[in-house]
Amino acid sequence: MSTAIVIGLNGLSYAFILFLLAAGFSLTFGVMGVINLAHGALFVLGAYVGLEVVARIDNFWVAIAVAALALAVVGFGLYFFFLRHLYNKIPEQAVLTIGIAYMVANVILWIWGPVAQLGHAPGFLTGAFKVGTLSFPIYRLFIIGVGLLILALLWWLQDRTRVGAIIRAGMDNKDMTVSLGINYGLVSTLVFLLGMALAGVAGMLATPILGSYPSMGDNLLLLSLIVVVVGGTGYIQGTMLGALIIGLLDTFGKAYVPEAALFFSYIAFLAVLLIRPSGLIGRKVF
Amino acid sequence: MALLEVRNLSVHFGGLAAVHDLSFVIEQGERLAIIGPNGAGKTTTFNLLTGQLKPSSGEVVFKGEQITHASVFARTHLGMARSFQITSLFPHQTVYVNALIGLQGTQRSRYRMFRPLFKDKALEMAAQELLESTELWDLRGEIASSLAYGQQRKLEMALSLASKPDLLLLDEPSCGLTTTESADITARIAALGSMITVLMIAHDMDLVFGVAERVILMHYGEIAAEGTCDEIRSNQMVRDIYMGSRKTLGHAR
Amino acid sequence: MGDRPDDVAKSDAPRGRARGGIAPTGKGARSFVETGLPVLAIGVVVLLLPLFLPTFVSSLVTKMMIFALFGMSLNLIWGYTGIPSFGHAAFFGLGGYGAGVLVLRVDITNFWLGLLFALLLTAAVAAILGFPAFRVFGVGASDNPIYFLLTTIAFGELLARAAIALRPITGGSTGLAGIPHPDLGFGITVTAGRYYYLVFVIFVVCLFIIYRIVNSHYGYALRGIHDNERRMQALGYNTWLYKYTSWIIAAVFGGVAGVMFAYFGGIMVPNNLSMITSDIAFLVVILGSTTTFFGPIVGSVAFVGVEYLASLYLPERWPLILGSLFVVTIMFIPQGLGVMILKLWRRLLYGAA
């Protein structure tokens, strides 16, 4: 029983890492209909930038801020120079961002080398939380907390703010939204930047758990795709649901049926695409 | 036996009945028009007849065969054809290829994987005939998307006739045309001959009264009035519902 | 390539935007000079190449032919039917693994049996995956194929994971190594030098078959579906059946490329089934152009050429170069090199048009 609780907690914290990983992707893919297959590679870039800051000035929080800023800048370039011109051209967006992913991964390798790096949590977040015989790393609890905070923030942004309203209107009818005199271009650029900044934050936050190595982007990208599609496109709560399902499925699967666990998330992914392409609690964006 | 018989056809979107308990028949060689204000269920009815949409209840019988749940392409093979309101061609192909593709849709050869399309003499003859009859033969080398709008409508018509249908379903055939072009289309439909039965949905009263022998007025998904052109013109309810609105059209007044 | 100059005339654009030189009837009756001559010339050059140039060149050309066929098989569904599959490597890998497993695990060394088995396997898997695939790719989906792209990515990843999991058969994550030189039967074993000619023959045969298919009645129906699927249905075409069958045909040719690749390198790894390899097919097609028949050949020549140069001078930066190849193609030559070459060639022949 107690093992099941620990596995459950592990699964939960993994789910929140997945949520942080996929949140930025979900914003750009689910809300704006831009498919950014460089998301995984950029997430890793965020982690490396953060680690570099930690190595130089040894401040975890500044590192997170710098990672977010760096990715926002890169995201601006990506959106302004490239993706903006490929509106509604899905295969083209996909090919372009695959190219960007290759380039980013290679640049990371160039600058930081092939050796995997592990981030360290700030002192007061290290150690474990003990209840009776159970022990659970504090940093993982911290990740769950940050995940909840970001979920709340995005939820608020989506449902309660003007930006959210504009984005929802744009999803329903972009031309109409534009013709109402709303600067949809500006809003969508900002949302893209927010998505990228989130990837930077999440990338840095995840380093103490996932570590960082240049080629990990592909796997992270596939995970984000799975989480967003399973949960549902268009709503941030869908991403959370997808992250919970995949996180728990994967953790419990690996603990109890390790051979089959390799396939679980892909089977869930395919099943959702076939039965409800817009995801469990999503809306069709395309 | 009626060519097409629609019995108690209904379709619901959510709780809303878009078409409710619709019944009518078309006899061989007849020209029938369905009119009605926007949202009356004309387009929904049209989609039910072409197979684009499946009804919640009721049935559609064509040439004595149940086709209520038949696929779009199966209906074409039985002798139905349709036009599209928004011009629906093969924009990247030449006019000639448009005709060839259109013609082979109901022929067995359409599955041939190893014989060049351009070596099919019978098909080429048929394409020439089709394009000559629609005055597009001289434009056969043009890419369809580069044609003028009126010519595109002609090609649209040619594609609709390519399967040699017994029943032709026309969706707003004069939509977006100039008065002259519209008159031309009217003449063309009128000239189709009695072998082709025509059912059209339309807004343009000139076209309706110029072509149709019988008119059905739809309102709120049901048949509100039915009769000959003269009967419809003089029907008070028709005036109230349709022509009483701001859309006063043609000789209706 | 030189055997049927008229039939391998390669300028029939699937979405025929290039109009110069097309006879007013659209009959595609082109002069021998325009298409036959270049095909013949290239055929002769490729045929005689190994006699005059060092081995590494014929090895490069072999690779070009393999990836050209891989790209053309994808272009059959992408350029012609309008289905941009992102998991085409699934079939490439299946073909290669199929042939390799038969040789190494079942000990059936005959090349033709291996090829046959690999193709049956690819066709069978494609036939099964086609049902879910075309549930996702509904009528008119070429306009917004995103869910289909994701579904096909999942196919490839699932198969790659299966290849990792089925270690006793597939060799697990290290792959299936040690695939021997192909044995053609009658005591003929094809050594490295002669493998070039085997690939050449198979490539030309496949090219000819694909050319016939895309210019057949069926092929034009595929173009029609790309342009306007609803109209095709209204004209009497069972469009699902066309999409489904063209998907299987494309898979089989992708499988042929995979078989040739397996014998070429002697090894298949799980990545040959997944996105990394699908990316190559995608790049080859888009770099060459989706609107010309021969586009993927150009794309493959460019891709393999750049890869070779990179391996000589900047092996470390290859992914960076590969990535920029994607970006440059999409942003600056969206119509592809194939169209550019076609235009250039026609201008050369007929003067400024």
Strand order in the sheet with B65-66: B16-26, B4-13, B57-62, B65-66
Closest residue, chain A, to C149 (C-alpha): A91
Closest residue, chain C, to B116 (C-alpha): C216
What pLDDT sits at residue A182?
Answer: 66
φ, ψ for residue C183, nearest 5 deg: -105, 110
Q: Which of A146, A230, B71 is nearest to C234 (CA)?
A: B71
More confident call, C56 vs C60: C60
Residues A89-109, mean pLDDT to the nearest whole number: 91
Report the Cα–Cα distance between both ends of chain B, in Å, rounded.
37
Domain termination residue (choose one: B164, B180, B201):
B164
Are residues B57 and B100 located together in one domain of the fold?
Answer: no
Chain C residues close to A218, C-beta within 8 Å: 275-276
pLDDT over threshold 60, residue C26: no
- Is B97 in the C-facing interface, judged by CB distances under 8 Å? yes
Confidence of residue A263 (pLDDT cuts 50, 70, 90): confident
Q: Side chain identity at A77, as an amino acid letter?
A: G
Chain A residues close to C282, C-beta within 8 Å: 95, 98
What pLDDT sits at residue A31?
Answer: 67
Confidence of residue C71 (pLDDT cuts 50, 70, 90): very high
A286 lies in some domain: no
Contact C197, C311 (CB under 8 A): no
Count of domains observed in chain B: 2
**Cα–Cα distance measured from residue C57 to residue B194, given in angstroms and rounded to the nearest whole number:** 70
- Is B188 in the C-facing interface, judged by CB distances under 8 Å? no
Considering CB atoms only, which of C23, C216, C238 is closest to B73?
C238
Considering CB atoms only, which of C215, C223, C238 is closest to B116?
C215
**Three-state secondary-structure class, residue A252:** helix
- Is C230 in the B-facing interface, judged by CB distances under 8 Å? yes
pLDDT over threshold 70, residue B171: yes
A95 with C329: Cβ contact below 8 A: yes
Q: Considering Cα of C19, then C23, then C28, then C30, what sign does the dihedral take?
A: negative
A110 lies in some domain: yes
φ, ψ for residue C212, nearest 5 deg: -65, -40
Are residues B153 and B173 located together in one domain of the fold?
Answer: no
Contact A23, A158 (CB under 8 A): no
Strand order in the sheet with B167-171: B80-82, B167-171, B197-201, B31-35, B214-219, B222-228
pLDDT over threshold 60, residue A234: yes
B84 lies in some domain: no
- Is C306 in the A-facing interface, judged by CB distances under 8 Å? no
**Three-state secondary-structure class, residue B67:** coil
- Is A258 in the C-facing interface, judged by CB distances under 8 Å? no
What pLDDT sits at residue B240?
Answer: 74
Are residues B59 and B176 located together in one domain of the fold?
Answer: yes
Chain B touches chain A, with at least 3 Cβ pairs below 8 Å, answer: no
A104 lies in some domain: yes
CB contact residues (below 8 A), chain B span 150-169, against chain C: 159, 162-163
More confident call, C32 vs C124: C124
Are residues B73 and B184 located together in one domain of the fold?
Answer: yes
Tell me what the pLDDT averaged over chain C comes to. Answer: 85
Q: Which helix (H) or strand (E) holds A129?
A: strand A128-131
What pLDDT sits at residue A264?
Answer: 84
CB contact residues (below 8 A), chain A span 11-30, against chain C: none
Are residues B179 and B159 located together in one domain of the fold?
Answer: no
Considering CB atoms only, which of A100, A273, A274 is closest to C327?
A100
Considering CB atoms only, which of A86, A218, A225 is closest to C150?
A225
More confident call, A137 vs A78: A78
Considering CB atoms only, which of C132, C147, C161 is closest to A266?
C161
- Is C17 in the B-facing interface, judged by CB distances under 8 Å? yes
CATH number at residue A125: 1.10.3470
- Is B185 in the C-facing interface, judged by CB distances under 8 Å? no
Q: How many CB pairs under 8 A join A and C?
A: 111
Taking the CA of residue A75 and the nearest CA in chain C, the distance in Å comes to 15
> Percent of chain A having pLDDT more than 70?
92
Chain C residues close to A91, C-beta within 8 Å: 84, 145, 149
Residues A232-245, mean pLDDT to the nearest whole number: 85
> Percent of chain C having pLDDT more than 70?
89
Contact B120, B103 (CB under 8 A): no
pLDDT over threshold 50, residue C15: no
User: What are the beta bridge partners of residue B143?
Assistant: B94
Q: Which of B23, B21, B30 is nearest to B7 (CA)?
A: B23
What pLDDT sits at residue C205?
Answer: 95
Domain that includes residue B118, residue range: 90-164
Taking the CA of residue C223 and the nearest CA in chain B, the distance in Å comes to 9
What pLDDT sits at residue C112?
Answer: 92
pLDDT digits (tens, 9 = 90+) for B75-112: 999 999 998 888 889 999 999 999 999 999 888 888 88
**Cα–Cα distance measured from residue A195 to residue C250, given in angstroms and rounded to the nearest whole number:** 37
B49 lies in some domain: yes
According to the per-residue pLDDT averaged within each range, which of A177-181, A239-243, C65-69 is highest? C65-69
Are residues B118 and B41 located together in one domain of the fold?
Answer: no
Topology given in CATH for the domain delimited by C32-350 = ABC transporter involved in vitamin B12 uptake, BtuC (1.10.3470)
pLDDT over threshold 70, residue A106: yes
Are residues B105 and B173 located together in one domain of the fold?
Answer: no
> Percent of chain A having pLDDT more than 90?
21
pLDDT digits (tens, 9 = 90+) for C219-242: 999 999 999 999 999 999 999 999
Closest residue, chain A, to C167 (C-alpha): A259
pLDDT over threshold 50, residue C1: no
Confidence of residue C6 (pLDDT cuts 50, 70, 90): very low
C232 with B81: Cβ contact below 8 A: no
pLDDT over threshold 50, residue B253: no
Least confident piece of the model among A154-158, B80-84, C187-191: C187-191
Q: Judging by beta carbons within 10 Å of its beta carbon (0-12, 13-18, 19+), is residue A131 exposed, middle or buried?
A: exposed
pLDDT over threshold 70, residue C17: no
Are residues B111 and B71 located together in one domain of the fold?
Answer: no
- Is C279 in the A-facing interface, judged by CB distances under 8 Å? yes
Residues A228-245, mean pLDDT to the nearest whole number: 85
3-state helix, strand, coil in chain B (%, to 5): 40, 25, 35
Are residues B62 and B157 located together in one domain of the fold?
Answer: no
Confidence of residue B53 (pLDDT cuts 50, 70, 90): confident
Are residues B252 and B174 located together in one domain of the fold?
Answer: yes
What secondary structure, in 3-state letters, does C7-44 show? CCCCCCCCCCCCCCCCCCCCCCCCCHHHHHHHHHHHHH
CATH number at residue B18: 3.40.50.300
Q: Judging by beta carbons within 10 Å of its beta carbon (0-12, 13-18, 19+), is residue B14 exposed, middle or buried?
A: exposed
Q: Which of C135, A277, B218 is nearest to B208 (CA)?
A: B218
pLDDT over threshold 80, residue C144: no
B117 with C234: Cβ contact below 8 A: no
B81 with C219: Cβ contact below 8 A: no
**Cα–Cα distance measured from residue C230 to residue C33, given in angstroms and rounded to the nearest whole number:** 39
A281 lies in some domain: no
**Cα–Cα distance measured from residue C75 to residue B68, given in angstroms and rounded to the nearest whole number:** 38
Contact A94, C149 (CB under 8 A): yes
> So what's the ipTM on this one?
0.87
A154 lies in some domain: yes
Angle, helices A39-57 vs A60-77, to 10°: value is 140
B93 with C16: Cβ contact below 8 A: yes
pLDDT digits (tens, 9 = 90+) for B205-242: 778 888 888 999 888 888 888 888 888 888 777 777 76
Residue B236: C-alpha distances to residues A66, B225, B242 (Å)? 75, 10, 10
Q: Where are the domains of chain C?
A: 32-350
What pLDDT sits at residue A171?
Answer: 66
Chain C residues close to A95, C-beta within 8 Å: 282-283, 286, 326, 329-330
pLDDT digits (tens, 9 = 90+) for C30-41: 567 777 778 888
Chain C residues close to B88, C-beta within 8 Å: 228, 230-231, 234
Paired tokens of C157:
């990843």
φ, ψ for residue B24, nearest 5 deg: -165, 165
A267 lies in some domain: yes
C218 with B111: Cβ contact below 8 A: yes
pLDDT over threshold 90, residue A26: no
Residues A228-255, mean pLDDT to the nearest whole number: 86
pLDDT digits (tens, 9 = 90+) for C251-307: 999 999 999 999 999 999 999 999 889 999 999 999 998 888 999 999 999 999 999
A280 lies in some domain: no
Q: Which of C109, C92, C131 is nearest to C268 (CA)?
A: C92
Interface test with B, best of C11, C30, C213, C217 (most B CBs within 10 A): C217
Count of domains observed in chain A: 1
Least confident piece of the model among A195-199, B173-177, C173-177: B173-177
Going through chain B in order, the beta strands assigned E by DSSP cover 4-13, 16-26, 31-35, 57-62, 65-66, 80-82, 167-171, 197-201, 214-219, 222-228
Residues C35-59, mean pLDDT to the nearest whole number: 83
Are residues B15 and B38 located together in one domain of the fold?
Answer: yes
- Is C109 in the B-facing interface, judged by CB distances under 8 Å? no
Confidence of residue C29 (pLDDT cuts 50, 70, 90): very low
What pLDDT sits at residue C25?
Answer: 39
Residues C46-51, mean pLDDT to the nearest whole number: 81
CB contact residues (below 8 A), chain C span 197-216, against chain B: 212-213, 215-216
Taking the CA of residue C129 and the nearest CA in chain A, the distance in Å comes to 11
C223 with B96: Cβ contact below 8 A: no
Residues A116-125, mean pLDDT to the nearest whole number: 78
C217 with B112: Cβ contact below 8 A: yes
| DSSP structure class, residue B59 | E
Considering CB atoms only, which of A86, A90, A269 is closest to C146?
A90
Closest residue, chain C, to A224 (C-alpha): C150
Residue A255: C-alpha distances to residues A220, A261, A265, C167, C269 (Å)? 21, 9, 15, 21, 27
Q: How many CB pairs under 8 A join B and C?
A: 126
Residue C4: C-alpha distances to residues B206, B233, C204 (Å)? 58, 67, 10
pLDDT over threshold 60, residue B246: no
Which residues neighbour A229 within 8 Å (Cβ) at sequence distance 6 or greater? A242, A269, A272, A273, A277, A279, C150
Contact B211, B186 (CB under 8 A): yes
A282 lies in some domain: no
Domain that includes residue A268, residue range: 2-275
Q: Which of C302, B95, C70 is nearest to C78 (CA)?
A: C70
